[in-house]
Amino acid sequence: MPPPGSGNGDQSAKFVASRTFSSPREAVFRAFTEPDQMKQWWPPKGFTMLVSNMDLRPGGSYHYAMRAPDGTEMWGKFVFREVVPPERLVLVNSFSDPYGGLTRHPMSAAWPLQMLSVFRFDAQDGGTVFSVEWSPLDPTLDERATFDASHEGMAQGWSGTLDQLAAYLAKRT
């Protein structure tokens, strides 16, 4: 096994989730790439989106803030590596501060600092199969172990997020 921080996360089991939507691929892709649309469905249930700023290009970022029901603010950031409309987004996501600096997960100090995310949008019978693949980027041994032990929770989180996206898309089409 490589020393902590020496790899790109390939030693961890990748997390994959997918969902089929009846909406066309272009509509699903836009829901992920237009900040005003992200505000409508991205935050977890009960959270409010406070900031949603996007520069959609390789090297650009999506910087956002949400307020939890208890009033706590949480910031996040995507840095785009690939943008291939309407097929794929490859990005590094992390928790952030208000200025775009990287921060640790507010509830798990052992969560990977950065995650490599691949979002795929595949057309199928007039609808879209969306899939996300997550893997920790340059994890320490503790981060890798935390990620590997968290797949069930990630599945629940993504399920809730994609439920919200489905409801949002249903209102739009």
Tell me: pLDDT of 70 over 50.
yes
In a domain, 8, yes or no: no
Q: Does any domain span residue 6? A: no
Residue whose structure tokens are 């208890």: 70
Dihedral (C-alpha) 99, 105, 134, 149: value to the nearest 10 degrees? 170
Is there a contact between 21 and 130 (Cβ–Cβ < 8 Å)?
A: yes
Q: Which amino acid is at 102?
A: L
User: Rounded mean pLDDT of 76-88?
Assistant: 98
Contact 76, 87 (CB under 8 A): no
Does some domain include residue 4? no
Question: Looking at the domain assignment, is residue 76 inside a domain?
Answer: yes
**Does residue 71 belong to any structural domain of this protein?**
yes
| Residue 3 within a domain | no
Q: What values do phi and psi take at 58, rounded to 5?
A: -55, 130
Per-residue model confidence as pLDDT tens digits over 20-59: 999 999 999 999 999 999 999 999 989 999 999 999 999 9
The residue range of the domain holding 74 is 15-172
Number of compact structural domains in the chain = 1
pLDDT attached to residue 6: 38
Q: Considering the domain boundaries, does residue 1 fall inside one?
A: no
* 3-class secondary structure, 162: helix
Residue 63: which residues within 8 A CB-CB, separation 6 or more? 51, 53, 54, 75, 76, 77, 96, 100
Q: How far apart are CA 37 and CA 40, in angstroms?
A: 5
Do the bridges between strand 88-96 and strand 61-67 make them parallel or antiparallel, or are there none, so unpaired?
A: unpaired
CA distances for 167 relative to 20, 41, 48, 77, angstroms: 13, 8, 17, 24
Tell me what pLDDT residue 128 has: 98
Q: Is the pLDDT of residue 75 over 80?
A: yes
**One-letter-per-residue 3-state SS of 80-114:** EEEEECCCEEEEEEEEECCCCCEECECCECCCCCC
Each residue of 144-169: pLDDT tens digit? 999 999 999 999 999 999 999 999 99
Is 104 domain-assigned? yes
Which domain CATH number covers 90?
Answer: 3.30.530.20
